[in-house]
Chains A and B, each alone.
Chain A
Amino acid sequence: MFNDSIKYFWEQILGEDKFNAGIISAAIFVSAVQNSISGIAVGLAIILTYVLSAFICSFLAKVIPIKIRLFVYILINAIIATTISMFLLNVKLFWNYTALIDYIPVIAVSCAIIVCIDCPRIDKDYKSSLKDAFEIGITGALLILLYGVFREFLTSASILGINIPPVRGILENFHFFEYSSGGFILMGIIAGCMQKIHIVMMRKKFMDDGVKETAASELDN
């Protein structure tokens, strides 16, 4: 069922051959303000946004001429993302901070753009576009959670809300990763580490399967 989700996972964090703006920039703004646990709510909102937009846009694919299709997708996705963010993220159960209200347009627009660029099967029937959007959403939410865990560990020395006192003493005076500047640098560090992991995995795959089989399987996906 989750055939392409691994491919979308690496594509989102590494940004191969395209300009990667979307989940990653949303992750930086989201994790600055809150614990990583409440980031799960944002992840759910993002998945829901993606799924609904893909669903609606797949029906419009046949009707709208090719040239303005992308703009209509972006418009619909922006409307859905903004309404869902305003509705879901105002629920008092999940939300502890009000400073994020300023960043909701950023998240909404970035989600809107990325569905159009990322989702390769949005023009086919609604089932495959739903599956694609769900996979992109799930992997994106996982990436936001992972990034939020690292950032939370570096700012307040706690993993998922559990405090670790010894590290707290070292990190008490170091406020660099609380601000956006540290957030971007941390994202760069994480992307670098993921690139190294990806290279090691690909090298192992090449050695195990052989060059031709690996290339064929990559092309098929």
Chain B
Amino acid sequence: MQEKLKNIRSSPYISGGDTSVSIMIKIIISLLPIVCFAVYKYKLNAVFHIFITVLACIFVEYLFCFITKKRNTVKDGSAVVTGILIALLLPAYAPYYMGVIGGVFAIVVVKKLCGGIGKYIINPSAAAKCFLFLSFPTVMRVYSNGAADLSVKNLIDGKNIDTLSLIVGDSVGSMGEVCAAALLIGAIILVVSGVIDVYIPASYTISFLIMLIIFGGRGFDAGYIAAQFAGGGFLFVAWFIATDYTTAPITYKGQVIYGILLGIFTAMVRIWGHRNEDIYFIVLIVNLFTPFIEDITIPKPFILGGGKNV
């Protein structure tokens, strides 16, 4: 009789098997095509960047938890993912301490000081990229050894770009942005393994497309639109950065609104902006809208005035 009483608990009795670590492992698997392409293209630079950044993120998170005498949160696995994302956003020829400084800023200032893993307001990887871009403007713009221009800058200037080179990986940009094919493979892995829902990337893509058609100045030019999608970090942001659980709205309706806002602002900076990296600032700005979107779209309990439309 006493042995039966030991197993009494309340619902739920069945779990899906998702832990924080398992989700992070799926994200790392989906980032593997991009990492492999970066290593193939940039050889040892990419390896060192990723290695140093991930180690720095883990070490800084452990050090922060040790100094503030709190529970060790390195076991979540989120420091690894943040480290890989920051490393993929660096230019390949940047000095190696960029990853360390970006990792420290992302983990300590953006993640830990804003509440920890479920409670930060802006995306740490995008914030680290923006911080590094603002603080070290000369070294963070060295995307190639030669004098080749960034793809998006060419589009803004009015030249035409070969989209095939963007897809295959012949273009110029930070390590994660150059190959659209690898990014698409990673996106497929993300969706198939069930980590993200397609509402954010789909609404982002559709609103970006509509804004480009209306305001782009070139109508339905297929080459221009394809180049805008394949280059400049659009795919990276749409599938890996904007879909972060903490900074995106919870409900499907909210995610659609979030994607629409992202698409509108991204189209504005792509058409009338100057820089390739404006998209990461846009991600930060729209992340700040998320509390308002959740306030509007999360259904309220009956006692607070909800349930009238049921």
B273 CB, nearest partner CB in chain A, Å:
18
Cβ-based interface call for A87 (8 A): no
A170-204 toward B: CB 8 Å interface, digit per residue (1/0)? 00011110010110010000000000000000000
CA A173 to CA B140, docked complex, whole Å: 11
Q: When the two chains form the complex, which single residue of A175, A179, A182 contacts B136, counting CB atoms closer than 8 Å?
A: A175
Contacts of B139 in A (CB 8 A): 173
Cβ-based interface call for B2 (8 A): no
Cβ-based interface call for B137 (8 A): yes
Could you tell me the dominant secondary structure of chain B's interface residues?
A: helix
CA A179 to CA B130, docked complex, whole Å: 13
Contacts of B135 in A (CB 8 A): 174-176, 182
Q: Is the CB of A176 within 8 A of B134?
A: yes
Central interface residue in B109, B135, B137, by most chain A CB within 10 Å = B135
Q: Which residues of chain B in 116-152 are interfacial with respect to chain A, using CB atoms and an 8 Å cutoff?
A: 131, 134-139
Q: Is the CB of B134 within 8 A of A173?
A: no
CA A175 to CA B136, docked complex, whole Å: 6
Contacts of B138 in A (CB 8 A): 173
Q: Count contacts on A: residues with CB < 8 A to the other chain.
A: 8
CA A174 to CA B136, docked complex, whole Å: 6
Measured CB to CB, the nearest residue on chain B to A185 is: B109
Q: Is the CB of A181 within 8 A of B134?
A: yes
CA A173 to CA B141, docked complex, whole Å: 13
B113 CB, nearest partner CB in chain A, Å:
9
B102 CB, nearest partner CB in chain A, Å:
12
CA A73 to CA B131, docked complex, whole Å: 41
Measured CB to CB, the nearest residue on chain B to A179 is: B134
Contacts of B109 in A (CB 8 A): 185
Measured CB to CB, the nearest residue on chain A to B137 is: A175
CA A174 to CA B140, docked complex, whole Å: 12
CA A92 to CA B249, docked complex, whole Å: 53
Measured CB to CB, the nearest residue on chain B to A174 is: B135
B157 CB, nearest partner CB in chain A, Å:
26
A134-174 toward B: CB 8 Å interface, digit per residue (1/0)? 00000000000000000000000000000000000000011
CA A103 to CA B31, docked complex, whole Å: 45
B264 CB, nearest partner CB in chain A, Å:
23
CA A179 to CA B136, docked complex, whole Å: 12
Contacts of A174 in B (CB 8 A): 135-136
Central interface residue in B109, B131, B134, B136, by most chain A CB within 10 Å = B134
B95 CB, nearest partner CB in chain A, Å:
10
Contacts of B136 in A (CB 8 A): 173-175
List 10 A-B pairs, Cβ < 8 Å. Answer: A173-B138, A173-B139, A174-B135, A174-B136, A175-B134, A175-B136, A175-B137, A179-B134, A181-B134, A185-B109
List the 7 shortest-distance A-B pairs measured between CB atoms, nearest first: A176-B135, A174-B135, A175-B135, A176-B134, A173-B136, A179-B134, A181-B134
Given contacts A175-B137, A179-B134, 7 further A-B pairs with CB under 8 A are: A175-B134, A176-B131, A176-B134, A176-B135, A181-B134, A182-B134, A182-B135
